[in-house]
Amino acid sequence: MFRSKKVGLLGRVLLILLLAYMIYSLISVRQEISAAKAEVEILTEQLAEQEQYNTELSNAIENRDNPDFVEDIAREKLGLVSPHDRVFYITD
């Protein structure tokens, strides 16, 4: 009878240890899931930015022969003006 009580106590200790390990594993997996969700969100934002950039490049390729498009690029990116434009310099 004394021996069965020791086995019962040992079984309970093992069960508690197993339960503690399972709880630790569950918490670990939840943290990994949270990290993965954050990474998915970041990658989704990067994907949207890259798609927008690709769309801009596609538009530039399609309109490369359009004189108005070329003129807009010359004005905005290169700071060029046509001879009939008036240029105002604002100083603060």
pLDDT of residue 4: 53
- Low-confidence residues of the chain: pLDDT under 70: 1-7
| Domain-embedded: residue 82 | no
| Domain-embedded: residue 84 | no
Number of domains in the chain: 1
| Domain-embedded: residue 87 | no
pLDDT of residue 64: 85
Tens digits of per-residue pLDDT, 40-56? 999 999 999 999 999 99
As a whole number of angstroms, the distance between CA 11 and CA 59 comes to 71
Helices assigned H by DSSP within the chain: 2-62, 67-76
| Domain-embedded: residue 31 | yes
Range of the domain at 41: 2-76
Residue 64 backbone phi and psi in degrees, to 5: -65, -25
| Domain-embedded: residue 26 | yes
pLDDT of residue 1: 47
